[in-house]
Every structure is written in C-alpha cells, then in structure tokens.
C-alpha cells in the first residue's frame, strides 16, 4: 500500500485521528516565528497545526500525501474563514519552490533515504535565520513498549544521534535535539506516555 492510500484509510475514519489541538511542543515554541510569518507544515495530515497557526495570523502552507486529510483540513479552514494553502504531494516528489519563516512537523516518520532527503529539502525551504521545529517518536517508544502510538517499525523511529547526522552543521545550528518522556493527548491516535525526540534548528 502506498503512502497516500495508507493515510487516506486512516483519515477516512470519523473525527480527527490526532485531535483538533496543535502539537504541544510546537505550540510552546511559536515565539521563534515572527508574527504573521510564513510557516510550512510538512506531513500535516488533517491539519491541527495548520489551523492553529492560521488562527494566530501566520501565513500557512500545509503539505501532505493524503487528499482525505487535506480535505478535512480545508473543511475546517472554510468553517473558520481561514486562508490556508494546501499542497498534495508525497515527500519523495516534493520540491521546495520558496522559503519560509519556519518549517514544522509533528510525527513525520520516514524511511531512509527519504528521511535525510526530506530534511535537506526542509532546510532549503527555510529562510536564513529561521527555524525548524519538529517532534517525533524515539526508538525507545517501540523498544520500551510505550502505549501512545507510533510506527511499529524501528527503522521509522528516531535516534537523536542518527537524526543529527541528517543535517550539515555548516548549514544549520542545532538549538535543541533531545529525547524526553511526556504524556500525549492527541485524538485517539496518540494517548498516554511517550518517548519523544524533539528538534529545533536554525538555518545559518
């Protein structure tokens, strides 16, 4: 099953898989983005982060491989009279054609070599001085049996040092790269204790 079909199946269920509220880590770091700045939301799914950012006045573009997820996002945006640009694209084929004041993602779990390739393109999509803010499940999420969701394939989960190797530190300054435990409350998809990798970097 390809990525689009897999996520369309998940997002076709009633309601919102990861809830309506933004990712708490990203929400906590929004002071890094200039007011009314442009934000690219990668692997944005049903749009919880994009909707929240647009409500705050940011110029938002949401990219995802699932047309079902983006349709649900646009329905919410229309209900709230929010202007959000959507891009239906698999990250394998996505090419950034402009630069943003921030690039964000929550739980963007990719196999190699797509992972490194996607991060390189995400850095290209940042303006100099701007930030990437992302949160993922760590490999310990699976190894230690945390109950809150995530891929059941170790190669799709994150190790902080391996993630560091995805970036050229001549191009970016890594502000935060940490593994932490926290409690997730994100729809029916992410509930309970979790082992997380949190990333903030700034483009040089």
Supply the CATH number for residue 48's domain.
3.40.50.150
Per-residue pLDDT of 19-53, as tens digits, reads: 999 999 999 999 999 999 999 999 999 999 999 99
In the chain, helix, strand, coil percent, each to 5?
A: 30, 30, 40
Average pLDDT over all residues of the chain: 96
The total number of structural domains that make up the chain = 1
Q: What is the pLDDT of residue 110?
A: 95
Distance of CA 51 to the CA centre of its chain: 13
Q: Are strands 100-106 and 38-41 parallel, antiparallel or unpaired?
A: parallel
pTM: 0.95
What stretches in the chain show pLDDT beneath 50? none
Q: What is the pLDDT of residue 171?
A: 97
| Domain extent at residue 54 | 3-203
**Strand spans (E) along the chain:** 38-41, 59-64, 84-88, 100-106, 126-137, 172-186, 190-203
Instruction: Give strand pairing partners of 178.
Output: 198
Give the Cα-Cα-Cα angle 146, 132, 22 (nearest 5 degrees): 55
């Amino acid at each position: 099953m390809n990525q689009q079909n897999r996520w369309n199946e998940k997002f076709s269920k009633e309601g919102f898989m990861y809830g309506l509220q933004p990712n708490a880590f990203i929400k906590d770091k929004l002071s890094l983005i200039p007011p009314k700045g442009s934000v690219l939301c990668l692997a944005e799914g049903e749009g919880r982060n994009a909707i929240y950012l647009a409500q705050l006045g940011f110029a938002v573009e949401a990219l995802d491989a699932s047309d079902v997820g983006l349709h649900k996002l646009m329905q919410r945006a229309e209900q709230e009279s929010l202007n959000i640009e959507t891009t239906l694209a698999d990250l394998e084929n996505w090419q950034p054609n402009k630069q943003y004041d921030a690039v964000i993602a929550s739980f963007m779990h990719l196999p190699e070599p797509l992972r490194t390739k996607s991060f390189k393109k995400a850095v290209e999509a940042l303006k100099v001085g701007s930030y990437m803010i992302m949160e993922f499940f760590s490999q310990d999420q699976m190894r230690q049996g945390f109950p809150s969701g995530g891929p059941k394939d170790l190669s799709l989960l994150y190790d902080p040092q391996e993630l560091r190797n995805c970036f050229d530190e001549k191009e970016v300054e890594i502000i935060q790269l940490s593994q932490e435990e926290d409690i997730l409350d994100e729809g029916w998809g992410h509930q309970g204790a979790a082992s997380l990798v949190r990333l903030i970097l700034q483009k040089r």
